Chain A
Amino acid sequence: MDKKEKLLQIFIEEAHEIIEDLDRLTMELEEDEGNVSVLVNDIFRGVHTLKGSANSFGYERLGEYVHYWEDLLVMFRDFPPLSFKSSIDLFFDSVSVIREMLDIEINKTQGYPEIYEQTLSQIKQKLDKQENLEQEVSLNENNVQIKEEVHFDLTYKVAPINDLEIQSITHEEKEELSKSLEIYSSFYNVVLTFDDDLYFRGHNQQISINLLSDIGTVLKSYWSFEALDTLDEYNNEHNYIKYISLYLMTNETPVDMEEIFEFSADDHEVKIRKFSSDEVSDICSIKKEVKEQDILEEKNNLIEISTPQKSEVKKQSFIRIESNKIDELFNSVGEMVIAQSYIENSEVIQESNNVSLKKNINSLSKSTKRVQDQVMSLRMVAIKDTFLKMKRIARDVSKKTGKEFDFIIRGEETEIDKTMVDALSDPLLHLIRNAIDHGLESSQERAALGKNIGTVTLEAYHRGNNVVIEISDNGKGIDSSAILEKAISRGLVNPAHHLEESEIINFIFDPGFSMAKEISDISGRGVGLDVVKNSIDKLKGKIDIKTTLGEGSSFKIILPLTLAIIDGMIISISDEIFILPTLSVVESFSPDMSQVSSVQGKEEFINFRGDVLPIVHLNRYLDIDGDEKKDQDSVFICMEHERGKFILRVDAILGRQQVVVKSMGKFLNFVKEIVGGAILGDGKIALILNIEQLRDRLDI
């Protein structure tokens, strides 16, 4: 990947983050009028950054749109009498357009989002109104000037006035400044601070300075160099210039000034001060001129003045790392854990009487576990952003359906594996839409039933080694008899068969199964819940549904904490070792053979806690050679599947262990009964069984 591609990749990631922020801020704007100016300002920053970046990458369609939206935000800032309330829907639509437009630009496809023209036209209309208002203001002499100049809060910090630098401006320079102000409208101080590794990142101070020179004239610049006493050891790749303060005359606005530094924001800290006309007059008339020597003598003071931020609260710093690097690190640590475990369990160590050695190995074991936990935590992110997206979805569906309800979010700080976050968006989106469209009654229906305002709750929490995400509503509930009727009419079930309530409800996950009487653009095509099930299956999770007719439904998605590690039950069949995901294990037991019966001497069933469950002899199923243990010596494990429970017959349970899942590679991908492999503590390799495939292949 070349530098440009890397920059583009960074831009795409940042743009998506900005768009998510715009969604969140717009929702906050709708809900909290008290923070209007702060929120509009925050939205402005995002839009402004997006505009600069989009244009830099040639994304002109996106750039044009956000440019107009930026103007609209300026209008709201400068003309407080204009209520943004009437534009809040336009804000939401604009975020949607930007999101879609970004995808179009990234994919280099033709065309525009569906509501591009409509929303752009609305924005332009509002801007035209602003122009009229401005004209009215200028015509009315008694009118108070609304604002002298556009003055949004800048993304960058404001440079403090540095008296020593200003006082050292010579008489000639003052004269030049006075003359130049006939050409230039503004006088700025731009303070840049740099770190040691600047040159390694392909940047150098001169790039920023040359950019500034292009937009005006630098009157004076102050440079601070790190110790440069030994010429022999001078290193061309080390940055010795840590501070540059430039005094610039230009016609650019502060916002335009910011744009210059947008692409090098990671390379330096920027502080900008625009001197007011009074301040410029003062500078030009300063009588005392401080000589350079004075500055040198008072360098400590200067540093204190120029970097007051150092005494401020310590800034939390972040670094952006490609997720595949974290995955590689995680895999390496996984190997380390296995190697450590192999040493710990080796016969030599087990039989050793060397107390010190055992103590050291024990200490190594603890450290290794700690490192594994820390690396694991790098993959974990709060589910907050995904939940916020759902809040936006809920708002849109509320508008479309005309249903009013409380949307409650709980546990948004719950952490989940980063790789799962994206994959969860679609399932959650479908479940939220269904909860609102099918689950909740209309306001009139609820009033007639004596029900209070509807609620849809989205909640996340940790339970054991799982993350649970629950979507619940207090609406109609699911009518299982209607589902059964539909399933029978579609030939999915024999009317003579008795099905449990949970089995009936699970038909809603069948492809094309829909209970909606009308197909809308929200739901009803019967594709949603099928997608949900497939997505959750891929994440090695499961969905539990609880529903009570007239009271509401709850969809509980249970996911492993991470896809990279599973909690496994280690079993043996003959000399082979396998792993079962404990998420699917209900319980294990020694069989009472009197409860086992067979059909035509082939299929075996067991009466277990009132249920008749099929028994799968894993050795026969997997065609493993070796003598099968006697029935009474074997172990039965009750497994759970959405199509019902079943029993696995194995020789023994060897233990339970968290294992790092290793891919079987592309050559063994076709073996659907195996989801991966794992190396156990003693160095042995065990295959992880795919319970879904096992059950599906049973044909029972």
Chain B
Amino acid sequence: MLNEDQVFTIEASIAHSEIEKVHKDILVNIDKIKTIEIKQEEALKSSALLSLLVSIKNFKPEISIPLIEKKDSFLNGLGTFSIIK
């Protein structure tokens, strides 16, 4: 979901089957998106979402994805989430 501030929000609890739809939404809006935020009320359901975020960051580094940039970002159950390529 892209808001007026060009922030694309994704629910952390999004099901694996819905990630493809999110992927398409992001591709359509890729030039408008400035930030992708993960809204967390429940635990992450599918780790494929993390793959998608990393892919977006690699593809367009100027998009801000706090979860990835801030190394102390926290998702339920992941502890301090660190990426090693």
Q: Which residues of A contact B (CB under 8 A)?
A: 168, 170, 173, 199, 204-206, 209-210, 212-213, 217-225, 228-232, 234, 236, 239-241, 243, 246-247, 292, 295-296, 299, 302
Complex CA distance for A615 and B50, rounded to whole angstroms: 81
User: What is the CB-to-nearest-CB distance from A109 to chain B, in angstroms, rounded to a whole number?
Assistant: 39
B84 touches A236 (CB 8 A): no
Query: Would B79 and A302 count as touching, CB distance under 8 A?
Result: no
Asked whether, in the complex, the Cβ of B47 is within 8 Å of the Cβ of A205, the reply is yes
| Least distance between B36 CB and chain A CB atoms (Å) | 12
Return the chain A residue nearest B81 by Cβ: A221
Alpha-carbon distance between A230 and B84 when the two chains are bound, in angstroms: 18
Question: Which B residues between 25 and 53 are near A, CB-CB below 8 angstroms?
Answer: 26-27, 30, 43-48, 50-52
Q: B83 touching A223 by the CB < 8 A rule? A: yes
What are 5 A-B residue pairs whose CB atoms fall within 8 Å in the complex?
A: A205-B47, A223-B84, A231-B60, A234-B23, A239-B48
Q: Is B55 an interface residue (CB 8 A)?
A: yes
When distances are taken between beta carbons in the complex, the residues of chain B under 8 Å from A223 are 50, 81-84
Q: How far is the CA of A168 from the CA of B80 in the complex (A)?
A: 11
13 new A-B contacts, CB < 8 A, other than A221-B79, A225-B85, A229-B59, are A170-B72, A199-B48, A204-B16, A213-B77, A217-B79, A221-B81, A228-B54, A228-B55, A228-B58, A236-B20, A236-B23, A240-B51, A299-B85
Q: A221-B81, A236-B20, A296-B85 are in contact. Are A213 and B55 (CB under 8 A)?
A: no
Contact A219 B80 (CB under 8 A): yes
How far apart are B16's CB and chain A's nearest CB, in angstroms?
Answer: 6
Quick one: which of B16, B48, B50, B54 has the most chain A CB within 10 A? B48
CA distance A228 to B59 in the complex (A): 8
Contact residues in A for B30 (Cβ distance below 8 Å):
231
B56 near A224: Cβ-Cβ < 8 Å: no
Bound complex: CA A199 to CA B78 (Å): 19
| A213–B76 CA distance with the chains assembled, in angstroms | 8
B29 to nearest A CB, angstroms?
12
A247 contact set on B, CB distance < 8 A? 79
When the two chains form their complex, are residues A241 and B50 in contact, meaning their CB atoms are under 8 A apart?
yes
In the bound complex, how far is the Cα of B47 from the Cα of A243, in angstroms? 12
Report chain A residues within 8 Å CB of B60. Answer: 231
- Looking at the assembled complex, report how far the CB atom of B73 sits from the nearest CB atom of chain A, in whole angstroms: 11
Q: Chain A: interface secondary structure?
A: mixed
Q: Given A231-B27, A236-B19, A236-B20, is A204 in contact with B85 using a C-beta cutoff of 8 Å?
A: no
How far is it, in angstroms, between the C-alpha of A295 and the C-alpha of B85 when the chains are bound?
Answer: 9
Q: Which of A199, A213, A221, A230 contacts B82 (CB 8 A)?
A: A221
Q: Which of A231, A239, A240, A296 contacts B56 (CB 8 A)?
A: A231
The listed residue (A204, A239, A299) touching B84 by CB distance below 8 A is: A299
**B81:A228 contact, CB within 8 angstroms:** no
Report how far A425 CA is from B27 CA in the complex, Å.
62
Instruction: Name the distance in Å between A313's Cβ and chain B's nearest Cβ.
Output: 27
Task: Report the Cα distance A351→B39, complex, angstroms.
Answer: 78
Q: Which single residue of chain B is at the shortest CB-CB distance from A245?
A: B84
Interface string of B59-79 (1 = CB under 8 A from A): 110000000000110001111
Question: From B83, which residue of chain A is reached at the shortest CB distance?
Answer: A223
A199 touching B16 in the complex, CB below 8 Å, given contacts A213-B77, A223-B50: yes
List residues of chain B with CB within 8 A of the CB of A299.
84-85
A224 to chain B: which residues have CB within 8 Å?
83-85
Q: How far is the CB of B76 from chain A (nearest CB, A)?
A: 7
- Please state if A220 and B54 are interface contacts (CB–CB under 8 Å): no
Expressed in whole angstroms, the Cα–Cα distance for A213 and B43 within the complex equals: 10
